[in-house]
Structure 1
């Protein structure tokens, strides 16, 4: 019997809590539109609705002043300091411009990294070739007929000079 009373009390408390939350979640604004239809919403009515047609507004929340109830100063022209907020299209265009700039910067960074990696490989290859030439060993190459030939001293000196120029121009 006690268990049944505890269960019933729990059910009543849960039902009361649901009813309390339902009243909080109900529409907070009620107004009559231009056609005479009652509108219910959790958002304020559109600015074109006169204040006399607003039947209910939230009493506990601070209500922001309506745009149509604040008279605009007619005698003061808009100065350069008064900035109009950007439209959605302007913000979208700015976003696209920033995104494109970021992509371009990323491509530039990637290309620069690839160029540096290729330069490092070319420099290492030139240094290895120069060391091979300077050791005095006979270096062979193949001619246009596929025949194996060996460099003489003058050809080797010119190849060393070319390797030195490559290293001095592009390598650090």
Structure 2
């Protein structure tokens, strides 16, 4: 029983120590960017942010020497030629622009494919109709009153010309 109590106490102490280190490791930086927006991060602000705009930085980070490009102070002031990385809003806008362009391209490709398929069907239909007319098979038509009649030679010639026109338009 005594061994169990000692083990439990040891576990509680270890858990407490871990919680203490967790709060220290969650260092937060707060600064105001060029647009006047408060920025919160676990990383130091970019080198171009003036010290007066840094609202909060962890005390351990201020005492420890900083290494790396992001933490190093700029050796020269930023010029107008230096590229500032795009903000999250800019990247989101670019992403939406690319997505919309891709959707438009896919929509256009779909419309082209539909139009080509319809032209192919119309072309085949016109060629079949012309073939039927040229074979001399009796072709009937229905007039306005619903009466059925057969095409004579002049009507057949006019229908062949119409089929030829349809073939040239649909079979491009």
Same fold (TM over 0.5): yes
User: 1-side partners of 2:159 and 2:90: how far apart?
Assistant: 61
User: 2-side partners of 1:109 and 1:67: how far apart?
Assistant: 45
Unaligned runs of 5+ in 1: 1-13, 32-42
Q: Which of these two proteins has the greater Rg computed from alpha carbons?
A: 1
- Correspondence for 1:136: 136
For the residue of structure 2 that corresponds to 1:130, the secondary structure is helix
- Correspondence for 1:149: 149
- Correspondence for 2:95: 95
Q: Does 1:27 align with 2:63?
A: no
- Correspondence for 2:169: 169
User: 1-side partners of 2:149 and 2:83: how far apart?
Assistant: 79
Summarize deviations over 1:83-141 as a string: whole Å, max 9, x none: 11112221121111111111111110110011011111101110111111111011111
Q: Does 1:108 align with 2:108?
A: yes
5 Å-filtered alignment, 1:41-60, equals: 43=42, 57=60
User: 2-side partners of 1:54 and 1:109: how far apart?
Assistant: 53
Preserved CA contact (<8 Å) 2:140 2:149: yes
Moved over 4 A (4+): 17-26, 44-50, 53-58, 65-69
Q: Does 1:64 align with 2:67?
A: yes
